[in-house]
A = this chain, B = another copy of it.
Amino acid sequence: MSELKNDRFLRALQRQPVDMTPVWMMRQAGRYLPEYRATRARAGDFMALCKNTELACEVTLQPLDRFPLDAAILFSDILTIPDAMGLGLYFEAGEGPKFHKPVRTQAQVEALPIPNVAADLDYVMAAVRTIRSALGGRVPLIGFSGSPWTLATYMVEGGSSRDFATIKRMMFTQPEVLHQLLDKLATTVIAYLNEQIRSGAQAVQIFDTWGGVLNTPCYQAFSLDYMQKIVAGLIREHEGREVPCILFTKNGGQWLERIADTGCSAVGLDWTLDIGVARSRVGNRVAIQGNMDPSILYGTHNAIRAEVKRILDDFGPHNGHVFNLGHGITPEVDPENARVFIEAVHELSGR
């Protein structure tokens, strides 16, 4: 493996001093880039792109070729695990992901196989190895997974949901069935992320996109406990380096202290909580990743720079900040505005 030339991202996750605040963007390889749309058109549909090693590597590197980003993230989808469990993932135009075979009964949960991640998700590991090699040490590579709760919402609902009625009904009438499902998912996520680390991922992020729809006791019991189990089961050192782990619960600002107490390296923040408040609440226990509203990228260059400055000032002169958006960059954003954002983070934070 090539030596890492830019370790700003990993150093910040370990709360070590950096020359400037590292920055990457969730969904940085995505539809806002014309070169992504061209590659995707060649691949066919979204999952075909995820499963094509060369093209998945190509789109992963595209934003790095344009912008001075401090990390790459594996191009994949959070729903690869349920797909490998046999649920039949498909995408319907304008409707997001769906499953042919949702999981709703105790018998269906019991029958659910635990995938052999190296074999059943070999295309993910091949992408990790290929991207890592193609990066040649430019920046670190982030692996990722959905959280058990978030994966379960799609598996039980059969796709996206507005009110999560089906899984919440299961939660309040058959909690033991849901726990069995979440336990299988946690076991699989541990194996999945560890295999990504062995394949070359230098940090991992767990996306808990839907933890924020729960109340506190349910968040603790049905989402956070399983993420904590995952954190405890992860490879924490590989190739002689710490492998940081970032937990990101969208709309999870009220549970920051609990998330920080799981033993993760960093907490991901959406934009609804001030990062200064977040920093003062978790102190020096963990790094913080975030937290600009991606829709500010619709704004003027001046508005983008002002918001970057506001967030940097709010975080203050501490170690342990990875700049990011609070959610994925959206397809309508002008790539030049993404450049203004990324360059502003470096310029305005340079020591």
Contacts of A216 in B (CB 8 A): 272-274
Q: How far is the CA of A163 from the CA of B27 in the complex (A)?
A: 15
The one of B218, B253, B300 that contacts A172, using a Cβ cutoff of 8 Å = B300
Contacts of A168 in B (CB 8 A): 293, 295-296, 298
* Nearest-Cβ distance from residue A314 to partner chain B, whole angstroms: 9
* Nearest-Cβ distance from residue A62 to partner chain B, whole angstroms: 23
Contacts of A209 in B (CB 8 A): none
Contacts of A67 in B (CB 8 A): none
Contacts of A303 in B (CB 8 A): 172-173
Q: A164 in the interface, Cβ–Cβ < 8 Å?
A: yes
Q: A165 in the interface, Cβ–Cβ < 8 Å?
A: yes
The one of B215, B295, B310 that contacts A293, using a Cβ cutoff of 8 Å = B215
Q: How far is the CA of A131 from the CA of B217 in the complex (A)?
A: 39
Contacts of A310 in B (CB 8 A): 217
The reply to whether A330 and B172 form a contact with Cβ atoms under 8 Å apart is no
Q: How far is the CA of A115 from the CA of B236 in the complex (A)?
A: 62
Q: A68 in the interface, Cβ–Cβ < 8 Å?
A: no
| Cβ proximity bits A300-316 to B, threshold 8 Å, 1 near / 0 not | 10010000001000000
Number of copies: 2
Contacts of A330 in B (CB 8 A): 163, 165
Contacts of A164 in B (CB 8 A): 295
Q: A214 in the interface, Cβ–Cβ < 8 Å?
A: yes
| Cβ proximity bits A203-230 to B, threshold 8 Å, 1 near / 0 not | 0000000001111111000000000000
Q: A271 in the interface, Cβ–Cβ < 8 Å?
A: yes
Given contacts A217-B310, A272-B251, contact A169 B212 (CB under 8 A): no
Q: How far is the CA of A330 from the CA of B168 in the complex (A)?
A: 12
Q: A332 in the interface, Cβ–Cβ < 8 Å?
A: yes
The reply to whether A295 and B254 form a contact with Cβ atoms under 8 Å apart is no
A293 nearest in chain B by CB position: B215
The reply to whether B251 and A172 form a contact with Cβ atoms under 8 Å apart is no
Q: A136 in the interface, Cβ–Cβ < 8 Å?
A: no
25 A-B pairs within 8 Å (CB atoms) are namely A163-B330, A165-B295, A165-B332, A168-B298, A169-B298, A169-B299, A171-B295, A172-B295, A172-B296, A172-B299, A172-B300, A172-B303, A173-B299, A213-B272, A214-B293, A215-B293, A216-B273, A216-B274, A218-B293, A253-B254, A254-B254, A254-B272, A254-B273, A254-B274, A254-B277
